[in-house]
């Protein structure tokens, strides 16, 4: 029987969320990657890409994302990774790891907004559909997260958690019967400094 520490609760919560949401999050990552790459190919048609690739290595920077402004969004733009990945969002710990994808980009486009899309652009339509899906998924993840946290805080041990919520046994069992960590203190030095008699 192991006491449920906050660290163990957090690990179990993340594992359950990955189990439930990894597939839809990965599908969203695929759509983001597709849109980012469509924007890149719109910005640099094939003939321009070929000219860029023909330049000596190092003449142009390789970057992992592109700045995109969709519709009449003022000065706001979205930085989209070519691999579609999320960074520092609730989706980040759920998504399957992806290697970074870097593409050549002209210096004037490597930071800030590289391409602007009209509202009626087909890519903009894909963007808004993807954003709606992302918002719905975010709400579902946050709701599930709150429910999981409430359930995990209602018990104090892994044994009790499995008793009241047996469906999560697969996520909790690996933490069961973990030896308690004894605080690492310099016992002998401390005893001598405090003139404590031997136990």
Q: What is the mean pLDDT of each run of 10 residues along the chain (199 residues)?
A: 88 93 96 97 96 95 95 80 91 93 95 92 94 95 93 91 89 74 57 62
Cα separation, 66 vs 89, in Å, equals 18
- Look at residue 186 and tell me if it is in a domain: no
**Which pLDDT value is given to residue 48?**
96
- Look at residue 1 and tell me if it is in a domain: no
Q: Which residues contact 98 (CB under 8 A, 6 or more apart)?
A: 29, 83, 84, 85
**Which pLDDT value is given to residue 175?**
84
- Look at residue 190 and tell me if it is in a domain: no
- Look at residue 17 and tell me if it is in a domain: yes
Instruction: Indicate the number of domains in the chain.
Output: 1
How many separate helices (H) and strands (E) can be counted in the chain?
6, 5
Which residues span the domain enclosing 105?
Answer: 6-175
- Look at residue 99 and tell me if it is in a domain: yes
- Look at residue 114 and tell me if it is in a domain: yes
């Amino acid at each position: 029987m192991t006491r449920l520490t906050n660290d163990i609760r957090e690990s179990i919560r993340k594992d359950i969320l990955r189990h439930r949401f990894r597939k839809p999050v990965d599908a969203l990552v695929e759509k983001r990657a597709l849109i980012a790459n469509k924007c890149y190919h719109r910005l640099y048609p094939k003939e321009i890409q070929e000219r860029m690739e023909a330049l000596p290595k190092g003449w142009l920077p390789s970057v992992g994302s592109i700045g995109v402004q969709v519709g009449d969004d003022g000065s706001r733009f979205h930085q989209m990774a070519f691999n579609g990945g999320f960074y520092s969002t609730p989706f980040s710990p759920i998504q399957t790891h992806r290697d970074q994808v870097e593409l050549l980009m002209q210096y004037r486009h490597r930071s800030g907004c590289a391409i602007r899309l009209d509202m009626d652009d087909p890519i903009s339509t894909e963007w808004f559909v993807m954003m709606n899906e992302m918002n719905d998924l975010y709400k579902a993840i946050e709701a599930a997260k709150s429910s999981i946290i409430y359930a995990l805080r209602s018990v104090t041990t892994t044994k009790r958690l499995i008793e009241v919520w047996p469906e999560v046994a697969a996520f909790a069992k690996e933490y069961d019967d973990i030896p308690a960590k004894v605080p690492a203190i310099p016992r002998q030095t401390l005893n001598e400094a405090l003139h404590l008699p031997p136990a």
